[in-house]
């Protein structure tokens, strides 16, 4: 930590959608000194070339080779899957005080064999998986400080776990038949999304994809079981929307006998009463992603249906903030004992 009580930070993967949101927020954070902004292309350019929101004078874009590692306190890695593990594996043992927040999937999956099968990538840092922490801050804040590698969760899984985990733990809903229907803006696929999605009228249509084998399914499966110690049977149906950012997850549940929509809502209110970013709306409130865009908030609405004992939980987040960069900063705040909402107005 520098003499000004600021931590020295590098962002690797500075020019992607997530990296730019991260730098924009970090540039206004009172406890952060940005030392390195790294990318593989556009070396020497100023970061405001890519994001006009960034007004402060920051280091120019350089390669990772320019980093002086022992001067850093924290590294954010916003890289394609498979890349962060190589860098962390190289520097974890050399720099005993250096911490890492990885926004890729490299340390999200506890079993490297499931990771390799799911992402078609050989894991280069298997021994470090058990030294990392998968961290949704609302669930992990009491023990995050014990870890130096933080796996930032996926955007879809964040929107799904926040409403479901407290309810399953309290045995309020059936864990045998949950349907999760999630819709996301195309920024979630990164800047090369046009190569990933080639369907007709990309910018004017809604598109359903990977219903059986979406990459986030093992992550959701793992974390629901880890938190609740129950096997949760769910289907997950992702959709791409012709909008840039935002996620709305619609989660269809059956309440257990004798439980009501008010029981569900009150349980979530009680569970999140000290959480700054989780907003439980009034019963049967219409909801979209509009209220949460550019914020680290998650809005949750419990809605009754015409079918007895069947409810829909709507969960809305900004996929680039609470689903990525904002959650990463929230994790950083807890990791370094800052106020949890610092820099996340």
Catalytic residues: 155
Torsion, Cα 55 56 62 67, to 10 degrees, reads -150
Output DSSP code: residue 107.
T
Output Rg (C-alpha) for the chain, integer angstroms.
20
> 325: which residues sit within 8 A by CB, 6+ positions away?
18, 19, 21, 22, 25, 78, 103
CA atoms within 13 A on the CB side of 48: 9
Structural contact between residues 70 and 5, judged by C-beta atoms closer than 8 angstroms: no
Structural contact between residues 206 and 239, judged by C-beta atoms closer than 8 angstroms: yes
Return the bridge partners of 310, or none: 254
Output DSSP code: residue 307.
S
C-alpha to C-alpha distance for 142 and 140, rounded to whole angstroms? 6
Distance (Å) of CA 28 to CA 31, 35, 328: 9, 14, 15
Task: Please tell me whether residue 265 adopts helix, strand or coil conformation.
Answer: helix
Q: What token pair was written down for 162?
A: 């926040």
End-to-end CA distance of the chain: 24
Q: What token pair was written down for 138?
A: 């609302």
C-alpha to C-alpha distance for 321 and 327, rounded to whole angstroms? 6
C-alpha to C-alpha distance for 54 and 111, rounded to whole angstroms? 39
């Amino acid at each position: 930590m520098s003499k000004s009580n600021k931590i020295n930070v590098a962002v690797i993967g500075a020019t992607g959608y997530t990296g730019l949101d991260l730098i924009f927020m970090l540039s206004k954070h009172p406890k952060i000194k940005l030392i390195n902004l790294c990318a593989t292309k556009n070396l020497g350019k100023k970061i405001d070339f890519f994001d006009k929101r960034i007004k402060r004078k920051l280091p120019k874009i350089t390669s990772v080779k320019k980093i002086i590692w022992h001067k850093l306190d924290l590294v954010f890695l916003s890289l394609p899957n498979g890349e962060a593990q190589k860098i962390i594996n190289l520097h974890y043992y050399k720099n005993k005080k250096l911490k890492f927040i990885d926004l890729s999937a490299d340390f999200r999956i506890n079993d490297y064999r499931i990771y390799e099968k799911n992402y078609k990538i050989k894991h280069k840092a298997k021994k470090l998986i058990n030294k990392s922490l998968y961290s949704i801050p609302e669930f992990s804040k009491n023990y995050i400080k014990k870890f130096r590698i933080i796996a930032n969760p996926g955007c879809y899984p964040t929107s799904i776990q926040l409403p479901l985990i407290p309810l399953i733990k309290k045995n309020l809903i059936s864990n045998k038949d949950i349907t999760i229907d999630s819709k996301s803006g195309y920024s979630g696929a990164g800047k090369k999304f046009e190569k990933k999605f080639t369907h007709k009228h990309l910018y004017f249509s809604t598109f359903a994809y990977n219903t059986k084998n979406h990459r986030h399914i093992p992550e959701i499966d793992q974390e629901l079981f880890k938190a609740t110690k129950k096997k949760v049977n769910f289907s997950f149906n992702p959709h791409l929307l012709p909008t840039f950012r935002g996620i709305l997850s619609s989660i269809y549940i059956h309440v257990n006998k004798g439980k009501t929509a008010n029981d569900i809502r009150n349980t979530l209110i009680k569970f999140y009463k000290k959480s700054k970013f989780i907003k439980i709306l009034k019963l049967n409130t219409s909801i979209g992603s509009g209220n949460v865009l550019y914020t680290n908030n998650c809005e949750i609405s419990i809605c009754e249906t015409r079918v007895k004992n069947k409810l829909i939980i709507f969960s809305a987040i900004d996929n680039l903030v609470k689903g990525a960069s904002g959650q990463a900063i929230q994790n950083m705040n807890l990791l370094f004992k800052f106020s949890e909402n610092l820099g996340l107005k």
